[in-house]
């Protein structure tokens, strides 16, 4: 396991402390969980098929 040291502004640090206390977890656990969630692979958006519209000629069909 590795150690990471970061600098935070006072407002963000206070927000982290408050959130950790409200969730009854340590700052370390809160930050680790937040990073794991942030870095978790996201499901890809629905793929658009490149062949949609290939058969469209652009010509108008005669009115019947």
Can you give the length of the chain in residues? 64
Report, in this order, helix, strand and coil percent for the chain, each rounded to 5.
40, 0, 60
Total structural domains within the chain: 1
Give domain status of residue 54, yes or no: no
pTM over cut 0.75? no
pLDDT score recorded for residue 61: 66
For the chain, the straight-line distance linking the first and the last C-alpha, in angstroms and rounded, comes to 74
Give domain status of residue 52, yes or no: no
CA distance 29 to 1: 14
pLDDT score recorded for residue 51: 67
pLDDT score recorded for residue 52: 64
Give domain status of residue 44, yes or no: no
Q: Which domain holds residue 21?
A: 10-39
CA distance 39 to 31: 12
Question: pLDDT truncated to tens, each residue of the chain (64 aa)?
Answer: 899 999 999 999 999 999 999 999 999 999 999 999 999 987 776 766 666 666 656 667 666 5
């Amino acid at each position: 396991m590795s150690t990471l040291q970061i600098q935070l502004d006072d407002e963000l640090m206070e927000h982290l402390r408050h959130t950790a206390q409200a969730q009854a977890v340590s700052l370390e656990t809160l930050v680790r969980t937040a990073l794991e969630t942030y870095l978790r692979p996201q499901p890809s958006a629905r793929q658009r098929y490149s062949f949609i519209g290939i058969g469209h000629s652009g010509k108008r069909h005669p009115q019947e």
